[in-house]
Amino acid sequence: MKKLEQIYEGKAKKVFRTDDPEQFIVEYKDDATAFNGLKKGTILGKGAINNRMTNLLMQMLEKKGVPTHFVEELSDRETVVKKVTIVPLEVIIRNVSAGHFAERYGVEEGITFDEPTIEFSYKNDDLGDPLINAYHARALKLATREEIDTIVDLAFKVNEALKEFFLTVGIKLVDFKLEFGRTTDGTIILADEISPDTCRLWDKDTNEKLDKDRFRRDLGNVEGAYQEVMRRLMGEQA
Ligand code: TMP
């Protein structure tokens, strides 16, 4: 597999073309941003942790019947993935109130919902990723009705699998963000990453935050939190 030219650079990852027209290589960076890029920093070792954690979780999800873009881990920070066009929706599932949900609706953080919620943001940095509903997404031709139905079903399935998996290592899955892609033949598959950058992960007993909120909110020990999640997940693997 040959790494050819870079075709995209996001806030936390780069994507490269390869000699296989159906496969890309993703490279994870240590760069961290928050508040739509307003806050910038580095989380040492984050790229390697997010790469390994995403791959571990995606392989687990594949076994549970969720199609993902994962193909093969190449190195610490690099993974071969299936080529997709990203559906420009951030799909957010919440099990417990936190973050924008708590702010937007004026409730405290930490309230466990009777059922998980789902919401979409329009992935558009210039607009600050505004919240949209499924009708708006269709009006904007971001996805078809069938694609949105598939995305919702898969997102809830991912939630059940991840919630259970994290709980076995003493972690409460508070909320997370997913992105989906279309393969060349139009199939919707899970893409992007699943990591402490894109999930809120709280210790089951102490509610200690083990995710990017430590960076967003200047809580300290950011690197330690990422390492702790990885240490627990790898322990589960052994
Ligand atoms: P929120 O409460 O800020 O809307 O975040 C919900 C979840 O989505 C949280 O686990 C963090 C994740 N997220 C991202 O992955 N990328 C983003 O740009 C934002 C705003 C949130």
| CATH assignment at residue 24 | 3.30.200.20
Mean pLDDT, all residues of the chain: 97
Closest CA to 156 of 224, 66, 217, 80: 66
For 63, the token pair is: 């076994």
Q: How far apart are CA 46 and CA 19, in angstroms?
A: 28
* Residue among 50, 89, 92, 103 whose CB has most ligand 1 atoms within 8 A, to mutate: 92
Cα of 176 from ligand 1 centre, angstroms: 6
Q: Where in the sequence is the domain holding 41, given as residue range(s)?
A: 3-82
Contact 150, 188 (CB under 8 A): yes
* 101: phi then psi, degrees, rounded to nearest 5: -65, -50
Mean pLDDT (whole number) for 197-222: 98
Given pLDDT bands bounded at 50, 70 and 90, which one contains residue 1?
confident
Do 186 and 153 lie in a common domain?
yes
Q: In what order do the strands lie in the sheet with 78-82?
A: 3-9, 13-18, 23-28, 78-82, 70-73
Q: Which of 97, 171, 177, 215 to mutate to test the pocket of ligand 1 (most atoms within 8 A of CB)?
A: 177
113 and 193 inside one domain: yes
Q: State the pLDDT at residue 128.
A: 95
Which atom number of ligand 1 is nearest to the Cα of residue 175? 10
Given a contact cutoff of 8 angstroms between Cβ atoms, the answer to whether 63 and 161 are in contact is no
Write out the two tokens for 98.
Answer: 């936190």
pLDDT of 4 higher than 50 = yes
30 lies in some domain: yes
Residue 237 has pLDDT above 80, yes or no: no
Question: How many Å apart are CA 212 and CA 222, to the nearest integer?
Answer: 7
Q: Report how many domains make up the chain.
A: 2
111 in the same domain as 13:
no
**Is 238's pLDDT higher than 50?**
no
Torsion angles phi and psi, residue 26, rounded to 5 = -100, 140
The CA 159 to ligand 1 mean position distance, Å, reads: 15
Residues 203, 103, single domain; the answer is: yes
Taking the C-alpha atoms of residue 201 and residue 130, their distance in angstroms, rounded to an integer, is 24
Closest approach atom of ligand 1 to CA 198: 15
The mean pLDDT of 26-54, rounded to a whole number, is 97
179-192 pLDDT, tens digit per residue, is 999 999 999 999 99
- Does one domain contain both 76 and 128? no
Same domain, 76 and 95: no
